[in-house]
Amino acid sequence: MPGYKSIDRIQTVTASTFDRLVLKGEGPIVVEFMSYGCAHCGVIEPDLQQVAEIVESTEKFFRVNIAVDRELSEQYEIQGTPTLIMFLNGAELGREEGPSPDVSNILAVVRQPYES
Protein backbone atom coordinates (compact mmCIF):
# COMPACT_ATOMS: atom_id res chain seq x y z
CA MET A 1 0.00 0.00 0.00
CA PRO A 2 1.50 3.35 -0.95
CA GLY A 3 2.10 6.05 1.60
CA TYR A 4 3.76 4.07 4.35
CA LYS A 5 7.22 5.43 5.01
CA SER A 6 10.01 3.34 6.39
CA ILE A 7 10.64 5.90 9.16
CA ASP A 8 8.13 5.47 11.95
CA ARG A 9 7.66 8.81 13.69
CA ILE A 10 5.12 7.41 16.13
CA GLN A 11 6.59 5.44 19.00
CA THR A 12 4.57 2.57 20.45
CA VAL A 13 3.91 2.76 24.18
CA THR A 14 2.79 -0.14 26.31
CA ALA A 15 1.18 -0.41 29.72
CA SER A 16 4.65 -0.54 31.26
CA THR A 17 5.95 2.59 29.53
CA PHE A 18 2.75 4.65 29.35
CA ASP A 19 3.20 6.24 32.77
CA ARG A 20 6.77 7.33 32.13
CA LEU A 21 6.43 8.46 28.51
CA VAL A 22 2.90 9.88 28.45
CA LEU A 23 1.66 10.75 31.92
CA LYS A 24 5.02 12.02 33.16
CA GLY A 25 6.11 13.29 29.75
CA GLU A 26 6.76 16.96 29.18
CA GLY A 27 4.70 19.18 26.88
CA PRO A 28 1.84 18.29 24.54
CA ILE A 29 1.54 14.57 23.87
CA VAL A 30 -0.81 12.91 21.40
CA VAL A 31 -1.65 9.24 21.81
CA GLU A 32 -3.35 7.24 19.08
CA PHE A 33 -5.28 4.23 20.33
CA MET A 34 -5.24 1.87 17.37
CA SER A 35 -4.94 -1.67 16.14
CA TYR A 36 -3.08 -2.92 13.07
CA GLY A 37 -6.15 -4.89 12.05
CA CYS A 38 -8.29 -1.74 11.96
CA ALA A 39 -8.54 -0.60 8.35
CA HIS A 40 -9.41 2.98 9.36
CA CYS A 41 -6.17 3.12 11.36
CA GLY A 42 -4.29 1.98 8.27
CA VAL A 43 -5.95 4.70 6.19
CA ILE A 44 -4.98 7.55 8.54
CA GLU A 45 -1.48 6.17 9.24
CA PRO A 46 0.34 8.04 6.40
CA ASP A 47 -1.42 11.31 7.34
CA LEU A 48 -0.66 10.77 11.00
CA GLN A 49 3.02 10.18 10.21
CA GLN A 50 3.04 13.41 8.24
CA VAL A 51 1.39 15.34 11.07
CA ALA A 52 3.83 13.83 13.57
CA GLU A 53 6.66 15.12 11.38
CA ILE A 54 5.11 18.61 11.10
CA VAL A 55 4.56 19.05 14.85
CA GLU A 56 7.74 17.17 15.84
CA SER A 57 9.27 20.16 17.60
CA THR A 58 6.22 20.95 19.74
CA GLU A 59 4.23 17.74 20.21
CA LYS A 60 5.16 14.11 20.79
CA PHE A 61 3.21 11.32 19.15
CA PHE A 62 2.69 7.85 20.59
CA ARG A 63 0.50 4.90 19.73
CA VAL A 64 -1.18 2.32 21.95
CA ASN A 65 -2.09 -0.94 20.28
CA ILE A 66 -5.37 -1.83 21.97
CA ALA A 67 -5.20 -5.43 20.72
CA VAL A 68 -2.12 -5.80 22.92
CA ASP A 69 -2.71 -3.31 25.74
CA ARG A 70 -6.28 -3.86 26.78
CA GLU A 71 -5.90 -2.35 30.24
CA LEU A 72 -5.04 1.03 28.76
CA SER A 73 -7.94 0.81 26.37
CA GLU A 74 -10.32 0.10 29.25
CA GLN A 75 -8.72 2.69 31.51
CA TYR A 76 -9.30 5.42 28.91
CA GLU A 77 -12.73 4.03 27.94
CA ILE A 78 -11.83 3.65 24.29
CA GLN A 79 -14.98 3.02 22.25
CA GLY A 80 -13.23 2.21 19.00
CA THR A 81 -10.26 2.91 16.77
CA PRO A 82 -8.60 5.14 15.81
CA THR A 83 -9.01 7.42 18.82
CA LEU A 84 -6.62 10.31 19.38
CA ILE A 85 -6.19 11.61 22.94
CA MET A 86 -4.34 14.83 23.59
CA PHE A 87 -2.46 14.98 26.90
CA LEU A 88 -0.72 17.79 28.72
CA ASN A 89 1.16 17.10 31.95
CA GLY A 90 -0.60 13.78 32.31
CA ALA A 91 -4.10 15.19 31.95
CA GLU A 92 -6.40 14.53 29.03
CA LEU A 93 -7.25 17.78 27.24
CA GLY A 94 -9.33 16.36 24.43
CA ARG A 95 -10.02 13.40 22.22
CA GLU A 96 -11.13 12.68 18.67
CA GLU A 97 -12.70 9.45 17.51
CA GLY A 98 -12.26 8.50 13.87
CA PRO A 99 -10.68 11.65 12.46
CA SER A 100 -11.02 12.17 8.72
CA PRO A 101 -7.95 10.89 6.89
CA ASP A 102 -6.64 14.29 5.91
CA VAL A 103 -3.44 16.00 7.07
CA SER A 104 -4.98 19.44 7.63
CA ASN A 105 -7.89 17.97 9.55
CA ILE A 106 -5.67 15.85 11.81
CA LEU A 107 -3.35 18.80 12.30
CA ALA A 108 -6.29 20.94 13.46
CA VAL A 109 -7.51 18.14 15.73
CA VAL A 110 -4.17 17.69 17.51
CA ARG A 111 -3.50 21.42 17.85
CA GLN A 112 -6.93 22.62 18.94
CA PRO A 113 -6.88 21.39 22.57
CA TYR A 114 -3.57 23.13 23.23
CA GLU A 115 -4.72 26.45 21.77
CA SER A 116 -7.81 26.91 23.92
Q: For strand 11-12 and strand 60-65, is the pairing parallel, antiparallel, or unpaired?
A: parallel
User: Total residues at the site for other proteins (CB under 8 A)?
Assistant: 30
Does 65 contact other proteins by CB under 8 A? Answer: yes
Q: For strand 60-65 and strand 91-97, is the pairing parallel, antiparallel, or unpaired?
A: unpaired
Q: How far apart are CA 112 and CA 48, in angstroms?
A: 16
Interface segment toward other proteins; rule CB under 8 A; list 19-27, 43-51, 54-62, 86-94: 43-51
Does 52 contact other proteins by CB under 8 A? Answer: no
Q: Taking the complex as a whole, how short is the minimal distance between the CB of residue 59 and other proteins, in angstroms? A: 21
Q: What are phi and psi of 16, to 5 degrees?
A: -80, -20
Please confirm, yes or no, whether 41 is among the known catalytic residues: yes
Active site residues: 38, 41
